[in-house]
Structure 1
């Protein structure tokens, strides 16, 4: 928890000093689990906070965090019935975004996702390529999220960000 607090303090402190060079984005995402976990989890839900710095006219880089949860399902039947616990993660990642036009962009997040669910669990390497539409105040994107460590938590996501 100390690491997350320090990261957020650093982001917002640096952001206030260089406010003209970037901006904060706050958003939410929803996704369908795929791959290793598609039969055990029903949906991926989360919130995101990002700070971006303009590197060039078309490219921005920054940091991102938030919370993402994979909601467990009940699997099996009868005496073999088992409730899969929810799995939560706190991502700590670098992010980049290239704008092809004023409205279309391609981006990616790369970093580490800290396991924050109940019970035993491990974090893992986080990667999330995404493609989207943006205006001056909003973004809507589609992406693939993977959290890898002896198996992969993955999902196909739709997200929305509001830019401050």
Structure 2
């Protein structure tokens, strides 16, 4: 029983934590016709605001790669075969159990090439945070991330694998 208590105190500890992770995205809806996969990295700060509730700030970089059928046309018009994005989000992480959490974030996504512009982001998700020591965790999360821009919406199912450490 003592191990379970230690585990809970690590995942939902009273101290701030920072994580560094890799991100994979699978386009959904109309977007899946143009892109095959997204890949990137990010950092996330977590600041406890109440028992089992953390405020989060996330920033990173993600590239989505055009499907093979679209690559030749993009090259012919001098357009990159990938689109790069910088997502910046803030939200909350709510621990529902010892290591299990629900998370919601809102923010902006900035395009880095191909005139992709800026979009509004909403991202609900679920995840697990497993302690590996008193101040270090391994974190795995899955989310739906929607991007709304100029009256249109695209989305992805995202997966994040991260190493989290106490500050």
TM bracket, shorter-chain basis: 0.7 to 0.9
Query: Residue in 2 aligned with 1:135?
Result: 130
Alignment pair present for 1:122 and 2:117: yes
Name the structure with the higher strand share.
2
Q: CA deviation at 1:74?
A: 3.2
Query: Residue in 1 aligned with 2:163?
Result: 162
SS at match of 2:114: coil
Query: Residue in 1 aligned with 2:106?
Result: 110
CA distance in 1, matches of 2:39, 2:118: 17
SS at match of 1:37: helix
Instruction: Detail structure 1 runs of 4+ shifted over 2 Å in the superposition.
Output: 150-153
Q: CA deviation at 1:109?
A: 1.7
Paired positions, count: 141
- In structure 2, stretches of 5+ residues that fail to align are 1-13, 75-79, 132-136
Question: Aligned runs of 1:1-164 on 2, under 5 Å?
Answer: 21-75=15-69, 82-83=73-74, 85-116=81-112, 118-136=113-131, 137-150=137-150, 151-164=152-165
Q: Give RMSD over aligned pairs.
A: 1.9
Contact 1:42 1:71 in 2 (8 A): yes
- TM-score normalized with structure 2 length: 0.77
Q: CA deviation at 1:102?
A: 1.1
Q: Which has the higher contact order (CA 8 A, sep 6+)?
A: 2
- In structure 1, stretches of 5+ residues that fail to align are 1-19
CA distance in 2, matches of 1:43, 1:138: 24
SS at match of 2:115: coil
Q: CA deviation at 1:36?
A: 2.4
- TM-score normalized with structure 1 length: 0.79
